[in-house]
Structure 1
Amino acid sequence: MDILTILLIILVLAALGALPTWGHSRSWGYAPSGIIGLIVVILLILLLLGRI
């Protein structure tokens, strides 16, 4: 598998896990999705620079 495909699958799973729909994660706020957004931005920059 291509590394980009693996990263995409991991990001989709992380995005689903960051949704505050579970009872124990309602008080987390925007922290999980903010971290995932930061990872997506870093990956996009690396992709545009040709590092991935």
Structure 2
Amino acid sequence: MSLGTIIIILLILMLVGAIPTWPHSASWGYFPSGALGTILIVVLILVLLGRI
């Protein structure tokens, strides 16, 4: 496994974990998952371009 693949897998797991489905995180809105989604897209583009 390359470093890029490991980073993408970790970011996907973090994105799933940031979805506000629990009562204590319902007031957070979609900021955590939106921020992680943006980071995931940037890392995915960098992996596809061969920068990571």
TM range (shorter): 0.7 to 0.9
Distance, in Å, in 1 between the alignment partners of 2:2 and 2:43 is 15
What percentage of residue pairs aligned between the two structures are identical?
58
Question: Which stretches in structure 1 are left out of the alignment for 5+ residues?
Answer: none
Q: How does 1:33-52 map to 2 (within 5 A)?
A: 33-52=33-52
Paired residues, what number? Answer: 52
Superposition RMSD on alpha carbons, in Å?
Answer: 1.5
Question: Which stretches in structure 2 are left out of the alignment for 5+ residues?
Answer: none
Shift of residue 44, structure 1, vs aligned partner: 2.2
State the match for 2:13 in structure 1: 13
8 Å contact kept, 2:18–2:33: yes
8 Å contact kept, 2:16–2:33: no
Distance, in Å, in 1 between the alignment partners of 2:48 and 2:8 is 15
**Segments ≥4 residues shifted beyond 6 Å:** none
TM-score by length of 2: 0.76
